[in-house]
Chain A
Amino acid sequence: MLKTNIKPYVVILILIGIMGLMDMATPVLSAAEVATMSIDELKDLLGSDTLTVLDVRKGRDWSSSEFKIQEARRADPREFEQWSANLLKENTLVLYCA
C-alpha cells in the first residue's frame, strides 16, 4: 500500500505519464498547420523524376525506426542551407519526419 509521504513522488510520475498522453495530441496539432500527404499518395509518386523525398529524422528518431523510404535522402534540418541549395525547386518535395 502507498504511504502518505510518497504521494508527491507518485504525482510527479503520473505527470510524466500525462506528458506521454499529451504527446498523442501534438502531431495532430502540428499536422494541421502544414500540408501533408497520405502514404497512398506518396506511393503513387514514388519512382517519379519530379519527386524528392527527404528523410529529416535525426538521432534515434531515424536509427531506431524500421520504416525507411527507399528513395529518401537523409537531410539534417540543421544543415538546411547546405542541402536545400541542391534541390530542384520545380520538384515535389516530401519531408518525412516521423
Chain B
Amino acid sequence: MAETKLTQVEKKVTSETKSPGRAGRGRMLVGAFALGLMVSPDNLALLGRFAGHFNIYVPLLLVVGAVVYISYARSYENLYALFCLESGKALDIRKVLGVWLAYYPLTVRVLSAIFLTTGLTVTSGFVFNEVFVYWFPNFGFAYILLAVVSGLHFFGPDTRAKAQVLFVGTALVGLALLIGIGIVKGLPYTASHIPSGPRIMLSWLFVPLLFFIGFDIAVPFGAVSPHQTKDILQALKTAIAVFGVLMILWAIVTTQHVSGARLVATSISHMIAAREISGQFGRIIMGLVVIAGTCAAVNALFEAVARVTATMSKQKMLPRARYTSRFSVLCVAVAAAIMMAGGLAGEEILESYIRAALLLWLGGYGLLQIRLLQMTVAVTGMRQGSTRLRLLTTAVLAFGGAAILALTDDQAMIILKVMTTTIAIALVLGAIGNWRANKAPMLHKQHDKR
C-alpha cells in the first residue's frame, strides 16, 4: 500500500506512548516539536521589546499567556474525546473544522513556514557571520542551514525527531546558562520604559498570545487511546510551562541588565542582553541559542506542513502520493529559498507577512475552540458548563487578540490584506474540496470504512 510517510513521527510518538517504559520518549518528541517555534530567535527578540514595555508586569502577563495556551492544549482532550476515543478513528479535518474551513490549517501552516523560514534562516545567517565566522557570507549560511534542515525530512522520522530534541535542547540549555549567569551577576532592576499611548499599550498587552504559537505542531491526527491522550496532553502542558518559566526568567534577567528604553528600541535585545551579561562568551552562547532555535523552528514548521499535508492526503483532500510530506517540505524549502534570493528578507514587509501568518495561526486556535464549543453543546446539551465557559473565553481571547494585534500594528493594512487573502484561499480550496467530495461521495464512503 502506498502509505504516506508524513505521519511517521506521529506513528513513532503514538507507538512509543503505548509502552509505559517508552512513554517518556514519546512525550519528549511531542514536547520537542511543541517547543520548536517557541524557541525561535524571533520570540526572543519580541520578548525583549515586550519586557521593555511592561517590565515588572511581564511575569504576570506571561503566566496569563501560558494559562490560555494550556487551555488550548486541553481542548485537544475534548477533540479526541469527541472524535477518536470511542470510535477509534483518526481526526477527520473536515468533520473537526467543517468542509469550508478544512483547508485553513494547511494554508496557514504553509504561509507561516515559508515566511518564518525565510526570516529565521537569514537572521541565523547574520548571527553566524557576526558571532562565529566573520568571513562567511550570512546568506550563504542561511541557504546551507535551509538545505540541511529540509534534508532532515528525507532521512526518516528518527533523524528529524532526534535532531529536533538536539536543537531544542541546545537552545534551552544555552538560554538557561545565560539566565544562570545573569542571576548570579544580578543587578537592581533598571528603570522601566512605560509606553506612551494606549494604542501601544493595548497592542503589547496581547503579545503574550504570540509566544506559545505552534505548541500543537506534534499533536497526532491519528487515532489515539485514552492513555496516549493523557501522555500527549502532559507533554504539551510541560512544554508550555517549561518555556513559560524560561521566558519569565529571561525577561527578568534582561531587564536587570538592559534598560527598558533600549529594549524597546532594539530588534536584537537578546544579543545585547547576552553581551551585557557575559561579554563575548554571552554572545557565543546566544549565537548558539539563535542558530539552534532557528533549526528547531524551521524543522518544526516543516513537520507542521508535512503532517497536515499527509493527513489531508490520507483523507483525500489532497492528491494521494507516496511522498506527499517530502514533496510539501521541498516546496516550502524552495519557496523560502526563492524568497531569500528575491531579497524578501531585506524588506520590511516580511515582518508584516510573518505577523499576519502568526495571527492567522492564533485565529485557528479560536476557530477550534468555537467548533469544539458547538460540538460539546450538541453532544452534552447544557451540561459541562465549565468546559463551555473555558472554550468560549479562550475563543474570544484568540479572535480578540488576533484582531487587536492586527489593527494596532503599524502595518495594519498589509497584515489585514494578507490575512484576508489567506482566508479567501482557504475558503476557495474548501469549496473545491467540497465540490470534489460531493462529486465522488462513494470514494469518501470507502475511505471512511477504511
- Closest Cβ of chain A: how far from B285's Cβ, in Å? 14
B28: A residues at CB distance < 8 A: none
- Of the candidates B136, B151, B154, B155, the one whose C-beta lies within 8 Å of that of A24 is B136
Q: State whether the Cβ of B140 lies closer than 8 Å to any Cβ in chain A.
A: yes
Contact present for A59 and B267 (CB under 8 Å): no
Q: Which residues of chain A in 2-50 are interfacial with respect to chain B, using CB atoms and an 8 Å cutoff?
A: 2, 5-6, 9-10, 12-14, 16-17, 19-21, 23-24, 26-27
Contact present for B126 and A60 (CB under 8 Å): yes
| Known contacts A9-B327, A66-B268, A66-B283; 9 further A-B pairs (Cβ under 8 A) | A6-B323, A13-B147, A13-B333, A23-B143, A58-B347, A59-B344, A59-B350, A60-B126, A64-B127
- Of the candidates B119, B337, B345, B350, the one whose C-beta lies within 8 Å of that of A16 is B337
Q: State whether the Cβ of A65 lies closer than 8 Å to any Cβ in chain B.
A: yes
- Closest Cβ of chain A: how far from B378's Cβ, in Å? 44
- Of the candidates A26, A61, A67, the one whose C-beta lies within 8 Å of that of B346 is A61
Contact present for A20 and B119 (CB under 8 Å): no
A20: B residues at CB distance < 8 A: 137, 139-144, 146-147
Q: A10-B151, A13-B333, A60-B119 are in contact. Are A65 and B143 (CB under 8 A)?
A: no
Contact present for A61 and B345 (CB under 8 Å): yes
Binding site for B on A (CB under 8 A): 2, 5-6, 9-10, 12-14, 16-17, 19-21, 23-24, 26-27, 57-61, 63-67
Binding site for A on B (CB under 8 A): 119, 122-123, 126-127, 130-131, 136-137, 139-144, 146-148, 150-151, 154-155, 267-268, 271, 283, 322-323, 326-327, 330, 333-334, 337, 341, 344-351
Contact present for A65 and B126 (CB under 8 Å): yes
A57: B residues at CB distance < 8 A: 346
A6: B residues at CB distance < 8 A: 154, 323, 326
A10–B147 alpha-carbon span in the complex (Å): 9
Contact present for A19 and B346 (CB under 8 Å): no
Q: A23-B139, A23-B140 are in contact. Are A64 and B123 (CB under 8 A)?
A: yes
Contact present for B271 and A66 (CB under 8 Å): yes
A63: B residues at CB distance < 8 A: 267-268
